[in-house]
Amino acid sequence: MSSFRLRPQFSIHLPGVVDEVRRQLAEDLKKHGTKFDVKSFPGYLSLRVPEEEQHYWSPQLQISLDADDGQTSLAGIYGPNTNMWASFLYGYLIVGSVGLFSGLLGACQLCIGDSPWGLWIFAAMVAAALGLYFSAQMGQKLGARQTFELHQVVEAAVGRTIEIS
């Protein structure tokens, strides 16, 4: 279930109107995945591991539903809980910003013949970005069993095999 992607996803089409498909899918998810928390909102479903079974790397599944030529298009994205995702997002934002400016500073220092100490900071930011990426991959591996269980519940609810991309 783990991949090199940061957030594995799938997309399928189901016959029916969005609200009807959402209601039916929410019922089927609750029936097949009794241990998961299912939240239903207009055009959106969320499937989470219950709090008593959650750990730091526990996944959740976000499913958006959109109308598409008389059918409903489901797009599901597996990812960490919102707080975990936000910490990685801000980590990448900070590392990327500091890396960009330190790389520019180092390049300018190099062009004017000064000591390019900015490139050392740039190298550290590249290492930090790789560290963030590999820790996300480790987290995917640690949450793989729960991700697989979430995926099995969705497949049982829609009644067919769904390929993850």
| Tens of pLDDT, residues 59-97 | 999 999 999 888 999 999 998 888 888 999 999 999 999
Indicate the residue type of 36: F
What was the pLDDT predicted at 30?
86
Q: Tell whether the model's pLDDT for residue 8 goes beyond 60.
A: yes
Distances (CA, A) of 69 to 32, 56, 72, 140: 28, 40, 8, 35
Q: Tell whether the model's pLDDT for residue 111 goes beyond 70.
A: yes
Q: Which H or E run contains 146?
A: helix 144-158
Residues in Cβ contact with 9 at an 8 Å cutoff, skipping those fewer than 6 apart? 75, 76, 77, 78, 164, 165
| Helices and strands of the chain, counted as H and E runs | 4, 5
User: Which residue has better confidence, 117 or 79?
Assistant: 117
